[in-house]
Chains A and B, each alone.
Chain A
Amino acid sequence: MRVGLISMSGVRVRSEELAALGVSLPGFVQRGKVIASLPSLAMLTLAAVTPADVEVEYLEVADIHLHGMRTDFDLIGMSTFTAMAYECYELADRYRAAGIPVVIGGLHAMLMPEEAKAHADAVCVGEGESQWPLILEDARKGQLKPFYREAKPGSYDISTTPIPRYDLLDIERYNRLTVQTTRGCPLDCEFCAASKIYGRYRIKPVEQVMREIDAIEAVWTNPFIELADDNTFVNKDWAKRFLREMGDRNIRWFTETDISVADDPELLDLLAKSGCQQILIGFESVAPENLDGIDRASWKRKRLDGYRKSIEAIQSKGITVNGCFILGLDGDTPDTFETVRDFILDSNLLESQVTVLTPFPNTRLYHRLKAEGRLLQDAYWDRCTLFDVNFRPKHMSVRELEEGLMFLFAELYNEQVYARRKRHYMEIYKNLTAAGHVAP
């Protein structure tokens, strides 16, 4: 049996105006390139739970577009996030027309299983590690079921996840490899699909994470690792054990977490010594009315007054913060764009990401906006790029939101700001070397 696992990577902004502006801005281009070149950890993990007697091949969708569709497979597995769902369906239809059964899984299929089923012989609604062996067994018998669901969603023990098959990758084409240390996020923000899909927050044992990093180092001697987590450092004791291990490795890495890392000086010191290059933090907004109720406990609202101090505390250790802000929240007005720009520049954030509020299907946000009659279309998945507007904002027009986003792109990602950020980081680094905190 030969199985092809297809990674649906890459996202294209639909707005031509925004795409044209984006490609001319250095900061935007850099992060876009990084995201576009990440391999699919889901597919590498499925390959790892594939029995040894099944031949498995990892494919990037870009290669299929470039070299054509191969038909020498007995089964195709595809995983897609929302923005690439239509492209995934189109390709799935072509494989099925060629007589090859297709299984679709991933974030979007978990959110919209019935829709995905129209383009697949089977849909994996649960977490892949537990369902994939069952799917292969049924595929061998020619008896695929329409849906594969876990009896109890979110119950999969991620400490039993096998080491992803990094050895299947052509390493030369990637500038980062991903490792997942946690699954889900306890904050449960209204717009977030991950909290809904993954259920309770789960953490891998540190030793297991290190074995996965060993596997990466076996195929790439000087790797850059991106943790494929939504919120890595929720559990501070686990975080410190993980960071101590990373400190011995001399590996550069990146992750996403929340602002609470700034509260713990010991954790920050360990983070600085661990090779961490950047942490991405969702600040979401600098308007209190937007943060009220954005997560179930309004945790981010309670942190708002400390944002600047926390950014300073983290960055003074030499760790850059990529601050993320969402535009179009219900408290936003046409004045919001200048407020967000001023906060990002005044707080000396060394990296920033501004995106528009995106109602991903089946999230709490999606259902609320739908009930309020504010969705612009019923299905708009290829526009779930985080940069295309898909709903009517409360206190401005769609056009005002689009123009506000472009205004911020021009204000934040230009050469002058980029040079200023570089200078700020260099001065932090000089202070650290002068104080003897890092060896020059």
Chain B
Amino acid sequence: MDQLLEEIRPLIAKSAKVDPQAIELDGDLFMEYGIDSLEGLKLLALLEQRYGITIPDHELLHLNTLGRIVEAIERARHSDGVVKEA
């Protein structure tokens, strides 16, 4: 989990054009860091490609923090009982 967190934090920071350390676990990507909705989707698409996963569609609406994204990726990586590595 921690490794995933540190991999994703810089990607979010790049989208938000801020320092990675500014991205907190429960900070709202859209309201607090100013990422627009399309940038958010590009980020999720990138993460799906990188980790070889598919996040269930119904979860997409609720992925508005670093913490939630990391949890969703963890769930997707374990969804078939096999941990997928990036």
| A residues in contact (CB < 8 Å) with B | 26, 30, 222, 224, 252, 277-278, 320, 415-416, 418-420, 422-423, 425-427, 429-430, 433, 440
Contacts and interface: CB of A to CB of B under 8 A. Distances in A.
Given A419-B57, A419-B60, A423-B60, A429 B41 contact: yes
B79 interface: no
12 contacts: A26-B61, A222-B17, A224-B36, A252-B36, A252-B38, A419-B57, A423-B57, A423-B60, A426-B44, A426-B60, A433-B46, A433-B49
B45 A430 contact: yes
B78 interface: no
Contact of A440 (B36, B37, B49, B61): B49
Contacts of B36: 224, 252, 277
Contact of A415 (B37, B42, B49, B61): B61
Most buried by B among A224, A426, A429, A430: A426
B12 to A, nearest CB: 14
Interface residues of B, number: 17
Interface in B35-63: 36-39, 41-42, 44-46, 48-49, 57-58, 60-61
A419 B49 contact: no
Given A422-B60, A422-B61, A320 B38 contact: yes
Interface string B68-81: 00000000000000
A422 B61 CA distance: 8
B27 interface: no
Contacts, number: 48
Contacts of B48: 426, 430
A420 B46 CA distance: 18
A422 B57 contact: yes
Closest 3 CB pairs of A and B: A426-B45, A419-B57, A429-B45
Contacts of A426: 41-42, 44-45, 48, 60
Interface in B6-56: 17, 34, 36-39, 41-42, 44-46, 48-49
A30 B37 CA distance: 10
Which DSSP category, helix, strand, loop or mixed, fits chain B's interface?
A: helix
A425 B46 contact: no
Contacts of A30: 37
A419 B63 CA distance: 11
Given A224-B36, A420-B57, A425-B38, 6 more contacts: A415-B58, A419-B58, A423-B60, A426-B41, A426-B42, A426-B45
A277 B42 CA distance: 12
B41 A425 contact: yes
Most buried by B among A252, A416, A423: A423
A418 B58 CA distance: 9
Contacts of A26: 61
B34 A222 contact: yes
Nearest to B56: A419
A112 B34 CA distance: 40
Nearest to A277: B38
Contacts of B61: 26, 415, 418-419, 422
A106 to B, nearest CB: 29
B45 to A, nearest CB: 4
Contacts of B58: 415-416, 419
A419 B62 CA distance: 10
Nearest to A224: B36
Most buried by B among A26, A278, A420, A422: A422
Contacts of A425: 38, 41, 45
A309 B46 CA distance: 27
Contacts of A419: 57-58, 60-61
A430 B57 contact: no
A440 B50 CA distance: 10
Most buried by A among B36, B42, B44, B61: B42
Contacts of A433: 45-46, 49
Given A26-B61, A415-B61, A430 B41 contact: no
